[in-house]
Amino acid sequence: MNILNEQIRALLEEPDMIACLSNLSACIMDSWEGLNWAGFYLVKNGELVLGPFQGKPACTHIPFDKGVCGLTYTSKLPQRVDDVLSFPGHIACDSASRSELCVPVLVSGECIMEIDLDSPVKNRFGEEEEEIMLQAARDIASASLQHHW
């Protein structure tokens, strides 16, 4: 396990979801160079709703069938997009973003939230970052069950 996953696990001891996710987004943003947005989208009322994040103001509501986040929700699989300008239906909250990594947090097979990372650098995210965020998603899912989020 790497240092970022260790930090995330320590922060997940916080029982308040908003406080916890706020610190997680700050931790991720502070740990990796080349990010312009790091945060969470929560599943609420039949859509993805903006949760705690670091970066410029973002889209507050995303339908399940729109953009990279929507595809992550419907497929229940991580989406690593090397060039968001070539992704059909990409939702541009920050026009500087060029690549994106979105990872679902699954509890009992259902997506309860997503980790979403953006970068102004094309091809910013690789297999290593995806694996780290997949582990983070598993740890967040466990914390969600433990803390009854």
Residue ranges per domain, the chain? 3-147
Retrieve residue 48's tokens. 């993805």
Residue 102: strand, helix, or coil = strand
pLDDT of 32 strictly over 90: yes
pTM assigned to the model: 0.95
Residues in the chain, overall count: 149
Neighbours of 75 (CB within 10 A): 11
Q: What percentage of residues in the chain have a pLDDT greater than 90? A: 89
- pLDDT of 148: 97
Tell me which architecture the domain covering 3-147 has in CATH: 2-Layer Sandwich (3.30)
